[in-house]
Amino acid sequence: MKQEYQIQDGVFSQYTGHETTFTVPDGVTEIGYGAFHRNYMRCVVIPEGVRAIQRLAFMDCRNLCDIVFPETLTEIKKQAVCDCHHLDEIVLPNSLISVGDRIFDDCDGIHEITIYGEHFDIDEERFDAYIWDDIAEEYGLCEENTTEVSRQIRHVMVDELPRLLINGEYDHLYMDEQYRCETIARVLHHQPGNENLLRTAKAHLPAIFPYLVQNPETVRFLLQKGMIENAHLDEYIALAAKRNAADTERILTEYQSAL
């Protein structure tokens, strides 16, 4: 029987089969350039272990309604999914740290996207392939002209954003200290295991903590990573009590008592 797909060195490079639902085999680490070009399947399941999707991987798949992305996925290249007009709802994993421009180019049937744990409804009349305006606003980049903010950050890797904010890279966009710290806190929430991000944010944690106080699981994780200095515990416990963040207050108090 003729093989309906090609895999070399972990790269899934071509699928020529006719199954309605296709599951990429285990062991694949990358979906290659144009791998599903003009295929007629309706659903593709990408397994855990796949880390990257290359450009035009899903190009002109006219019947494609659903792509199931794995939690190991960290990178989607520019225009990875394009001309797939039956795609309706997209859920991208929290593991993403690099997303190219217009990853859903001309997929004009998409009505909902979930990215970094946040849900966005898309207005058909103003469809943007990656809705950067909404994401910029949701991440605390609240400025009258969010289009300019979007234009500035659209090529920035998510794990680099807090460092650039701390260094004042976007001061010209009139981001005050509140929005700066809130944005860093949001990215910490979405990517708590990112070591580069943790190192960058540690020195600025006292300013960032007020935006983390309502997120007890992130606080617990930061304690486990040794990011919260003992000298600040009383301050953080008092803040949690003031904000009625009972779970965060309990976690911090238990940690302090165990010292």
Question: Which CATH number is 106's domain given?
Answer: 3.80.10.10
Establish if 120 belongs to a structural domain.
yes
- pLDDT at 140 (0 to 100): 45
DSSP label of 126: G
Q: Are residues 41 and 18 in the same domain?
A: yes
Tell me the residue range of the domain where 202 lies.
Answer: 142-257
Structural domain total, the chain: 2
SS3 15: strand
SS3 258: coil
Beginning with the edge strand found earlier in the chain, give each strand of the sheet holding 118-121 in spatial order.
89-91, 112-115, 118-121
Q: Are residues 19 and 119 in the same domain?
A: yes
- pLDDT at 129 (0 to 100): 38
Beginning with the edge strand found earlier in the chain, give each strand of the sheet holding 52-53 in spatial order.
5-8, 11-15, 30-31, 52-53, 75-76, 98-99
Q: State the 10-residue block means of pLDDT for the chain, 259 residues long.
A: 84 93 96 93 96 93 94 88 89 80 79 72 46 49 46 56 65 63 74 69 84 90 89 94 94 93
Write the Ramachandran bin of 201: left for phi over 0, alpha for psi from -120 to 50, otherwise beta. alpha
Q: Are residues 118 and 26 in the same domain?
A: yes
Q: Are residues 199 and 111 in the same domain?
A: no
Q: Are residues 107 and 208 in the same domain?
A: no
Q: Are residues 108 and 72 in the same domain?
A: yes
